[in-house]
Structure 1
Amino acid sequence: MTQLDGPRIQPRSGKAEQLVVFLHGYGADGNDLIEIGRQWRSFLPQAAFVSPHAPERCALSPAGRQWFPLTMRDPGERWRGVVATRPLLTEFLTQELARHELDASRLALVGFSQGTMLALHVGLRLATPPAAILGYSGVLVTGSEPPDIGPQFGTKPPPILLVHGEEDELIPADALFLSANALGKAEIPTQWHLSPGLGHGIDNGGLLHGGLFLARSFGLPVDFGKGAAPR
């Protein structure tokens, strides 16, 4: 099996008490999101951050990577893609948690675009639910098979925050509401934030909301006097 790897940020001091894994978008790589970890250190000083590079070179942007191919012409490609990539990412998460001697309850998944599709698909199917799933500019991918997410497995589902640009031209903002509604029907608690005037990206408000959400999901106190302000 292909081994994933990518840039890391270690906790400010001592042993990691949380692990935050970034999953980048189509055509980017792990370097695209890792610097967010430095901005969130004021909220998560004892967290380790890692941003693995996707396993495949991107067909439309050879300098970047892809978690799975996207043509935007095949309605089933997203579902097949997340299903095929799930074992690889699950194995990586298992290894990273073992590296830091943590269990999945101390894990947060943060995705952007295609990475959000994967964060939601994999995070909702881990044997131990993660502490949080944070998705920027993405969508919950559904398939033809019966859903296998939700409280029917006797576990408490992770809190989810979805953040989207109001003017997103690649994945329209309607994807946020469709995803939140589908998660709500599965009895999975979901918060959302719509960034006014933003296209397919992450703005300062979205970063602030995300950092606060992760800190609260990990049960950490949030001091606004010391917290990072939007830049």
Structure 2
Amino acid sequence: MTRVLESSRKASKSGEDSSLVIFLHGYGADGADLLGLADPLSEHLPDTVFVAPNAPERCIGNPMGYQWFPIPWIDGSSEEESERGMMQAVEDLNAYIDATMEDEGVSEAETILVGFSQGTMMALHIAPRREDQFAGVVAFSGRLLRPELLKDEAKSKPPVILIHGDQDDVVPPISMPEAGDALQEAGFPVYGHVMKGTGHGIAPDGLGVALSFIGQQLGLDLG
């Protein structure tokens, strides 16, 4: 049985809802943490609705926030608990995505996933395993989990942009080329951007690159 995810929403600036961006937050944060990015993005994406669910569980490492699944080296959980938690969160998130797209009247082809850290791990796991292809995936500061399974389990191959700070001390920067290599080998269109001098966060240059990618994948002329 899936858990219903609490969610925040920012309406499209124009009132014409033709596309959807789903933000997936990191470990110990919440949906509101990323929904603030909708303000600068919506100036250039006026027909886009932005939503940001909270992950399904309160975070063991930070009870004020949420987690998609436990992380053993942070919270002392077992590898089995982490794997089980992730698989349950995948079901929860897929159900949320389906319901949200139906509510907003859009399809995968008009939907972009934007993940940060653990949210990126979720986005890179879920998107390839759905039958219908998303318009794109923006993957900030995360990792591709179980890359060895990707080639065999991928059902769709949306374009992916990997964006990572070269000073990240939470998710090592090497995670970016590792993910890129696995995605390319599996046949995904992959792009990358390194945020120079940036730690575990989203710098203005990274957000700008993400905006250009989103516009391109949605077929928009952002000028």
TM over 0.5: yes
TM-aligned CA distance change 1:77 to 1:169, over 3 Å: farther
Q: Structure 2: which 5+ residue stretches go unaligned?
A: none
- Tell me the residue number matched to 1:85: 89
Once the two structures are TM-superposed, the CA of residue 21 in structure 1 deviates from its matched residue by: 0.2
Counterparts of 1:142-153 in structure 2 under 5 Å?
A: 142=146, 147-150=151-154, 153=155
Q: Aligned partners of 1:203 and 1:188: how far apart in 2? A: 25
Deviation by residue 1:41-79 (Cα, 9 ceiling, x = unmatched): 122110000000111000010001001111227667665
Q: Aligned partners of 1:144 and 1:221: how far apart in 2? A: 37
- Tell me the residue number matched to 1:176: 176
TM-aligned CA distance change 1:221 to 1:143, over 3 Å: closer
Q: Aligned partners of 1:144 and 1:84: how far apart in 2? A: 21
Q: Structure 1: which 5+ residue stretches go unaligned?
A: 224-231
Matched residue type, 2:136: A
Q: Aligned partners of 1:131 and 1:114: how far apart in 2? A: 21
Deviation by residue 1:70-103 (Cα, 9 ceiling, x = unmatched): 1227667665543331111011000010001111
TM-aligned CA distance change 1:75 to 1:179, over 3 Å: farther
Percent of aligned pairs with the same amino acid: 35
Once the two structures are TM-superposed, the CA of residue 123 in structure 1 deviates from its matched residue by: 1.0
Matched residue type, 1:195: M
Q: CA RMSD in A?
A: 1.8
- Tell me the residue number matched to 1:125: 129
TM-score normalised to the size of structure 1? Answer: 0.89
- Tell me the residue number matched to 1:228: none
Alignment: residue pair count? 219
Matched residue type, 1:95: A
TM-score normalised to the size of structure 2? Answer: 0.92
The structure where helix makes up a greater share of residues is 2
Counterparts of 1:129-208 in structure 2 under 5 Å?
A: 129-142=133-146, 147-150=151-154, 153=155, 155=156, 157-208=157-208
**Aligned residues of 2:150 and 2:186 also touching (Cα < 8 A):** no
Deviation by residue 1:153-188 (Cα, 9 ceiling, x = unmatched): 5x5x21100000001101110000000000011011
State the SS of the aligned residue for 2:179: helix
Once the two structures are TM-superposed, the CA of residue 145 in structure 1 deviates from its matched residue by: 5.4
